[in-house]
Amino acid sequence: MNTLHCPNVRRTVATLLLLTVLTIPLLATATAFKKICIFGDSLSDNGNIYKYDFHILPKSPPYYQGRFSNGITWAEHVGNYYYERYGMKVYNQSVGGATCWLHNIFNKKLPFTLRQERDGYYAKTLYTTLFHKKQDTLYIIWMGANDYLDGLEGKMTVDQTTSKTVGKIRECIESLAGKNGKSFLIINLPDLSITPSAAESGDLPLLHRLSTEHNRKLQLMVDNIRQSYPALNIHIFDVCSMMNDALNNIDDYNARYGTNITVTDQPFWNGGYTVMGAAPDKEALQEEVQKDIESANRSKKTDSSMLARMVANSPALRAAYKVAKSYEMGYRPPMDADSYLFWDYVHPTRVVHKALGGVVIDFINQYYTPTN
């Protein structure tokens, strides 16, 4: 007997076929996004802290219009691409010096943490776009470097520090998922021991351990998120391998990304205020920064003491401040910045940002679905 001739079987098969046809477009658009929101630090900041600190940091020139580099960031390359093709709105919540968790060195007054960036996004989308659909947003998180660059805090161990940092990233993901966020792109950390800042501090082994352990736990966390929240589309972009490729074989890197980098172990801004021995200790630096802020902050809307403390205790912001002072002293590097991997002791040059932006765009187009 041919079971397909039975009415009940035919109806069942027809129903299954109909459900399959109806499900295909749902699956295709399940991870579609119409907006992008970026949480990050100085590697992604498009001028946010520059507005907040009255253009004290990063000084322009020599930095480019509030970016911690000599050009726009990778995040802006990504945002520009999707805006030009899809008219896509991009929320960039990144703030230079931001950390994943609140560190004691700031006496619990630091306003720039991952949670604060997230809360700022919630407030922004509540009042400016009442019907903002968070399930239509791709969330990109690249944080953690500032939690490690100054080493361990107090008696905390590598395990405790990395667990706390990765845990805060997970909290942010779960909070956004709780508000119907569906698409997440998490970027791991480059090996922080490769930065000129690490070579200057002598903390290479510790920073290597922190970076490696962070990335290992980040992968485990994302794997667990996939199991706990199967409806989410979440992936890790491996920037660590990309930066290691640049260091291990710069010729291949140049050929792949159309760059002409020849110097990978020194920053472009490698002189003036730093090498002349004029760089003060943190306490003296804090006093100097506070005077600069108070001079520019005539309206007194900003807590100059808090901001100065933040600069003095953040390797990324200290690097930017020292470059600004070198520029004021008349120091000018002798070579073209595009031949360098690093712009200052922490941040990459514009050509690295452009290459990174292009690779991230390819990654997004592979794993997510942009739409109008």
- Confirm whether 24 is domain-assigned: no
Q: Give tens-digit pLDDT for 183-196.
A: 999 999 999 999 99
Q: Pick from 106, 221, 136: which is nearest to 172 by CA?
A: 221
Provide the residue range defining the domain that includes 69.
31-370
- Confirm whether 134 is domain-assigned: yes
Residue indicated by tokens 């007997």? 1
Contact present, 342 and 319 (Cβ < 8 Å) = no
HEC states along 212-233? HHHHHHHHHHHHHHHHHCCCCE
Q: Pick from 48, 70, 67: which is nearest to 58 by CA?
A: 67
- Confirm whether 3 is domain-assigned: no
pLDDT at 170: 99
- Confirm whether 217 is domain-assigned: yes
How much is the pTM?
0.86
CA dihedral 313, 314, 320, 326 (to 10 degrees): 30
Contact present, 117 and 94 (Cβ < 8 Å) = yes
Domain of residue 259, CATH code: 3.40.50.1110
* Helices and strands (H, E) in the chain, number of each type: 13, 9
- Specify the number of domains making up the chain: 1
pLDDT at 54: 60
**Hey, what are 301's tokens?**
């809307």
Q: Give tens-digit pLDDT for 195-245.
A: 999 988 888 999 999 999 999 999 999 999 999 999 999 999 999 999 999
pLDDT at 370: 96
Which band of pLDDT confidence, cut at 50, 70 and 90, is reported for residue 136? very high
- Confirm whether 8 is domain-assigned: no
Residue 320 CA to residue 343 CA, distance in Å, equals: 10
- Confirm whether 7 is domain-assigned: no
pLDDT at 297: 61
Q: State the burial class of residue 245 (Cβ atoms within 10 Å of its Cβ: 0-12, 13-18, 19+).
A: middle
pLDDT for 26 beyond 70: no
Q: Pick from 188, 166, 177, 159: which is nearest to 226 by CA?
A: 177
More confident: 27 or 242: 242
- Confirm whether 19 is domain-assigned: no
- Confirm whether 308 is domain-assigned: yes
Residue indicated by tokens 């507005």? 51
Q: State the burial class of residue 82 (Cβ atoms within 10 Å of its Cβ: 0-12, 13-18, 19+).
A: buried
| H or E stretch at 129 | none
